[in-house]
Amino acid sequence: MTTPASSATGVPAGPAPETEIARDLARRAVPVAPVLIAACGLGWGIEGALSSAYAVALVVANFLVAAALMAWAAKISVGMLMGTVLAGYLLRLGALTLAVVAVRHAAWVELLPLGLTLVVTHLGLLVWEAQHVSLSLAFPGLKPRAQKG
How many CB atoms neighbour CB 32 within 10 A? Answer: 16
pLDDT score, position 115: 95
Task: Answer yes or no: are the C-beta atoms of 96 and 106 closer than 8 Å.
Answer: no
Task: Answer yes or no: are the C-beta atoms of 70 and 81 closer than 8 Å.
Answer: yes
pLDDT score, position 68: 92
pLDDT score, position 4: 47
Straight-line distance from the first to the last Cα atom of the chain, in angstroms, rounded to the nearest whole number: 35
pLDDT score, position 2: 42
pLDDT score, position 18: 83
Specify the long-range contacts of residues 25-33, CB closer than 8 Å, at least 24 apart.
25/60, 25/63, 25/125, 25/126, 25/129, 26/60, 26/63, 26/64, 28/125, 28/128, 28/129, 29/56, 29/59, 29/60, 29/121, 29/125, 32/56, 32/121, 32/124, 32/125
Those residues whose C-beta lies under 8 Å from the C-beta of residue 62, and which sit 6 or more positions away, are: 92, 95, 96, 122
Residues 36-66 have pLDDT tens digits of 999 999 999 999 999 999 999 999 999 999 9
What is the overall mean pLDDT for the chain?
84
pLDDT score, position 69: 93
Extract the residue ranges of the chain whose pLDDT is less than 70. 1-15, 134-149
In angstroms, the CA 21 to CA 132 distance is 9
pLDDT score, position 21: 82
Task: Answer yes or no: are the C-beta atoms of 143 and 134 closer than 8 Å.
Answer: yes
Task: Answer yes or no: are the C-beta atoms of 22 and 64 closer than 8 Å.
Answer: yes
Residue 16, CA atoms < 13 Å, CB-side half-sphere: 17
